[in-house]
Structure 1
Amino acid sequence: MKLKEMYDLAVRKGIENDPRGKKEVDKILKKAQQSFEELKDDEKKEFDIEKLANPYSDTRILFGDPETEIKNVLSGIDIEVGEVLIGDRLREKGRQVDLLLAHHPEGKALVGLYDVMNMQSEILEIFGVPINIAEGIMASRISEVKRGLLPLNHNKAVDAARIFGIPMMCIHTPADNMVTTFLQNLINKKDPETVGDIIKILKEIPEYEEAVKIGAGPTIVVGDKKRKAGKVFVDMTGGTGGSEDAFSKLATAGVGTIVGMHIGEKHRKEAEKNHINVIIAGHMASDSLGMNLVLDEFAKQGVEIMTCAGLTRVAR
């Protein structure tokens, strides 16, 4: 596959699995096109053209010719300077590495991480929170994340990849969409009665089964295994953690249990205060599941996959 074909396929699978539905995503792309057309010529130079076809600003080709033929990929949850060196060392030892593929964003995709958080408002609406309230509580959180990203050394790993001449790409929200939809559909189908039943469902999935072996498996951080699960919200996409103010609104909307990748202590306390059960499925395990669903699509096209940096490879 060519690098651009892999990128386009990842975006397409992300859209297909977007919790908001393709119709809503198409509206966003249409608005991006309208915004671009309304810009003056000098303003268009600063516009990220990728937004016209890719609604996920945290997913980008970071370095390399899009027409490069990719046969072998080294993929990890994080591709930082150390992983770039691993890729170069593998090349020295005779292993073919055509692409460094990260899950977590680097470079310009890291700069744009905050922008995908807008989708959380629409996801909250799906689970019963009025959109005006959802947008209101997310606005300050998005601004907070944007400010927090400003001082980071965004291009450190990308520069290393450039020095060694290894193409680099990251796939964040599309993979998160895939794990979210996969788990939400599975849990909805199995209709667990208790929080403990959800834990059992998760532990039957190979990525979580492997995580259990190192003590990083699914964990109940609010509630206990005997509590009724109620309406289950798989909260694993939308850039990064949302607003702590969402928990009271979700409780009012009837959500009984949240299944997430990770949670901060302030957020956990808000969930506890609002009597919402919280299961942390595991960050690396959940990211591995999402990436595996993407990597499977590449493997179908004959791309060879090597993994590193916390990515547990399971082919389906």
Structure 2
Amino acid sequence: MKIQKIYELAIKEGMKADPRDKEELDKFLEKSKKEYENLKDDEKEFFDLEKLTNPYSDTRILAGDPNTDVSTILCGVDIEVGEVLLADRLREKGKNIDLLLAHHPEGKSLAGLPGVMRVQADIWHREGVPINIGEFLIDERMKEVQRSVMPVNHNRAVDAAKLLGIPFMNVHTPADNMVTSFLQKGFDEVPPYTVKDVISFLRKIPEYNMAAKTGTGPTILVGDGDKRAGRVVVDMTGGTEGPEEVLEKLANAGVGTIVGMHMGSKLRKKALKYHINVVIAGHIASDNLGLNLLLDNLEKEGIEIIECSGFTRISRL
């Protein structure tokens, strides 16, 4: 399977699991097309053409020829310079490594992280928050995240991969969409009665079960296990954490419990203030679940997956 096909498959699966419907995604891509068409000729060279077909600016082929055939992937939650050197060392020992696959973005994907955040407004809208309010709130948060990633040395790992001739790509929001969809479907099919039931549900999933045994599993961050969960909303996609102001809007819309990967102190204080239960499923465990759901598609094609950097392969085939 060629790298380009793996990339296209990741985008396709991400769009299938996207909180937005096909019409909204088509509008998003059409907007990118019009943006490109309206640019002056001397500005078009700076436009990322991948935006015309890929709505996820944090998911890209970062190094290597897209037409390279892949039979073995070294996959990790984070692929940084250390993991690139690990791949090179494995090659020296005779292990075939055709592609480095990261979850978290590097290079141009990291620079593009703020671009995927607007989907959060659509998730809130689905729960009853007016879209105009959601878009205003996320726009301000996007600017904040943009400022935070601007000074980062984005290309360190990408440069290392290029120097060693190892193809490199990452899949961020598509995998996050898949874990969000998977969990939300489970909670909707059998709604948990109490917050403790939310924890029990998560612990039955292999990735969270493993994490619980190492002290990094599902945890109640806000609320009490015996309290009723109310409407459970999975908040695990859209690049990174949203704005703290949205907690009030979600509470007013009737959300009882948020299940997330992580939550900072400011958002936690707002959740306390507005009486929203918060269950932290676990960041790396959630990333593992999203990657595993994606990699099932690649394993069907006979691709071997080698684990590293916090990733454990669990097949559902």
The TM-score normalised by the length of structure 2 is 0.99
8 Å CA contact 1:74–1:305 kept in 2: the answer is yes
8 Å CA contact 2:191–2:232 kept in 1: the answer is no
Partner of 2:86: 86
Partner of 1:274: 274
C-alpha distance in 2, partners of 1:188/1:178?
15
8 Å CA contact 2:71–2:98 kept in 1: the answer is yes
| Offset, 1:27 | 1.1
Partner of 2:169: 169
Structure 1's consecutive aligned runs of 4 or more residues displaced over 2 angstroms after TM superposition are none
8 Å CA contact 1:285–1:312 kept in 2: the answer is no
2:72 counterpart of 1:72: yes
Partner of 1:54: 54
C-alpha distance in 1, partners of 2:112/2:32?
15
SS of residue in 1 equivalent to 2:169: strand
Deviations 1:165-220 (A, max 9, x none): 00000000000000000000011111111111111010000000000111001000
> What is the one-letter code of the residue matched to 2:63?
F
Partner of 2:232: 232
Deviations 1:113-148 (A, max 9, x none): 011011111111111110111111112111010000
Paired positions, count: 316
CA RMSD, 1 decimal: 0.7
| Offset, 1:22 | 2.0
Note the 1:106-121 alignment, pairs <5 A: 106-121=106-121
Note the 1:1-316 alignment, pairs <5 A: 1-316=1-316
C-alpha distance in 2, partners of 1:114/1:144?
9
Residue identity over aligned pairs, in percent, reads 59
Identify the range of structure 1 (306-315 vs 104-113) with the bigger mean alpha-carbon deviation. 306-315
8 Å CA contact 2:234–2:258 kept in 1: the answer is yes
C-alpha distance in 1, partners of 2:313/2:302?
16
Deviations 1:81-103 (A, max 9, x none): 11011100100000000000000
> What is the one-letter code of the residue matched to 1:66?
P
Deviations 1:41-72 (A, max 9, x none): 11211111000000000000000000000110
SS of residue in 2 equivalent to 1:220: strand
> Where does structure 1 lack aligned partners over 5 or more consecutive residues?
none
C-alpha distance in 1, partners of 2:313/2:221?
27
| Offset, 1:266 | 0.7
The TM-score normalised by the length of structure 1 is 0.99
SS of residue in 2 equivalent to 1:307: strand
8 Å CA contact 2:19–2:119 kept in 1: the answer is no
> What is the one-letter code of the residue matched to 2:151?
P
Deviations 1:226-247 (A, max 9, x none): 1111111100000000000010
